[in-house]
Amino acid sequence: MKPRSFNRVEIDTGALQANFQSIQQTVGQQVRIMAVVKSDAYGHGLVECAQAIYRAGGRTFGVAEVWEGAALRRAGLQGEIVVLLGGDSESYGEIIKYSLTPVVFDIDFITGLSHEAVRKNTEVGVHLKVDVGMGRLGVLPHQVESHVSLLKRLPGISLSGVLSHFPAADETGAVGTTQEQLALFRNVVTQLNIKEAEAVVAHIANSAGLINFPGSHLDMVRPGISLYGYYPDASPARAQASAPALHLQPVMGFKTRVLQIKELDAGCGISYGHTFVTRRKSRIAVLPVGYADGYLRKLSNRAEVLIDGRRAPVCGRVCMNATMVDITDLPRVLVGDEVVLLGRQGDENITADEIAGWLESISYEVLCLFGSFNERVYV
């Protein structure tokens, strides 16, 4: 039998499917959903999550790079796979071989892809990226006409989508800015002629957009963090007010176990640098998890874990492979007991948003960290 790690990340595919279906109910059956599974599905597992979403009815998937799309095809995934970062000249063959839909914004890439598609006697659909205020990838609005004209002229390539991205749809103070960007994108779409508009899928709404700006749903939405059970601005109350039909369940849990328990007198230093010193006779549990497992050093003397359904604070610096917690007030803890770092145990719950607060980060990063550094189990 292969030895297993003390630590494991549990992925609830049923919760993932329920989130997908709740998002579909929120936007309506007439709006397509691009399930964003890039970056290993935010640490939840690229292939496993895409397959679970497909079983729930998803037929369009968003990945960051060509190799992710190729991996999904090799795993047997059907449907449309949109490559959000596009590609380069070395990826033409893979794009064509695996029937991927690249996002485009570069004339040289578009021209080269056309030549390769003609050479292989096929046609590739592409989505044109427009920058309406993100300041990242995409052509500017005044460049759209020339790029669309080029796509019309070139053989072997066709415009099947036009997209943009909101930079601040999750910020309450940027409502006016987001509405202006939406209006600008709508204007870009309107400038496409009638025949073309019927064939082109327009999409701009990320999770924050689909929740907070129903007018941004257009033909398709691109949920990412909401698929995995979290609200983009860490505010379920705001989301429920904007989208009452949306009910999200966290998909990921992160668990370890108690490796050792020791009793220490007052005045004993814990871990590197002795940043924590016991102030009373204490029971300290050693956990076999640390920053090599994505449980970052920033959590030292900040985080809490769940043992026996109760919270226990992290004490001392988090090490590469070990973390200490104070269990003095939890008398029933034994070596081998389950410890929840992320998720629910009994009536208590530690969310990715709470951990993100300790890390001074966002839930997205927490999920990517934990999922990418640990063994995953699908339940």
Q: Residues 112, 218: one domain?
A: yes
CATH number at residue 185: 3.20.20.10
Q: Residues 217, 273: one domain?
A: no
CA distances from 25 to 32, 41, 113 (A): 11, 22, 37
Q: Residues 86, 52: one domain?
A: yes
Residue 4 lies in a domain: no
351 CB-near residues (< 8 Å, 6+ apart): 230, 250, 342, 363
Separation CA 186–CA 205 (nearest Å)? 12
Which single residue is written with the structure tokens 């007030």? 329
Which single residue is written with the structure tokens 């610096």? 317
Q: Residues 95, 232: one domain?
A: yes
Residue 318 lies in a domain: yes
Q: Residues 133, 175: one domain?
A: yes
Q: What are the structure tokens assigned to 185, written together?
A: 């994108």
3-state secondary structure (DSSP) of residue 260: strand
Separation CA 83–CA 62 (nearest Å)? 6
**Residue 121 burial by CB count (10 A; 0-12/13-18/19+): exposed, middle or buried?**
exposed
Residue 237 lies in a domain: yes
Q: Residues 210, 317: one domain?
A: no
Q: Which domain holds residue 174?
A: 13-242
Write down the pLDDT at residue 196: 64
Cross-strand bridge partners of residue 202: 162
Q: Residues 57, 199: one domain?
A: yes
Residue 214 lies in a domain: yes
Catalytic residue list contains 228: no
End of a domain among 242, 265, 281? Answer: 242
φ, ψ of residue 229 to 5 degrees: the values are: 100, 15
Digits of tens for pLDDT over the chain (379 positions)? 677 899 999 999 999 999 999 999 999 999 999 999 999 999 999 999 999 999 999 999 999 999 999 999 999 999 999 999 999 999 999 999 999 999 999 999 999 999 999 999 999 999 999 999 999 999 999 999 999 999 999 999 999 999 999 999 999 888 999 999 999 999 999 988 655 666 899 999 999 999 999 999 999 999 999 999 999 986 777 777 778 889 999 999 999 999 999 999 999 999 999 999 999 999 999 999 999 999 999 999 999 999 999 999 999 999 999 999 999 999 899 999 999 999 999 999 999 999 999 999 999 999 999 999 999 999 9
Q: Residues 256, 184: one domain?
A: no
Which single residue is written with the structure tokens 């415009």? 159
Active-site entry in 38, 54, 98, 295? 38
Number of H helices, E strands in the chain: 13, 20
Count the neighbouring beta carbons within 10 Å of the beta carbon of residue 292.
12
End of a domain among 218, 242, 266? Answer: 242
Separation CA 17–CA 105 (nearest Å)? 33
Q: What are the structure tokens assigned to 361, written together?
A: 């980060």
Q: Residues 76, 107: one domain?
A: yes
Residue 247 lies in a domain: no
Separation CA 377–CA 218 (nearest Å)? 36
Q: 309 — alpha (psi -120 to 50), left (phi > 0) or beta? A: left
Residue 6 lies in a domain: no
CATH number at residue 330: 2.40.37.10
End of a domain among 242, 276, 293? Answer: 242
Q: 311 — alpha (psi -120 to 50), left (phi > 0) or beta? A: beta
Q: What is Dmax (Cα atoms) for the chain?
A: 79
3-state secondary structure (DSSP) of residue 45: coil
- 20: DSSP letter: H
Q: Residues 58, 191: one domain?
A: yes
Residue 205 lies in a domain: yes
Domain count for the chain, please give it. 2
Residue 3 lies in a domain: no
Which single residue is written with the structure tokens 């997908």? 20
Write down the pLDDT at residue 240: 74
Cross-strand bridge partners of residue 377: 10
What is the rounded (10 degree) CA torsion for 142, 147, 149, 153? 170
Q: Residues 71, 196: one domain?
A: yes
Active-site entry in 97, 152, 262, 272? 272
Q: Residues 265, 227: one domain?
A: no
Catalytic residue list contains 272: yes
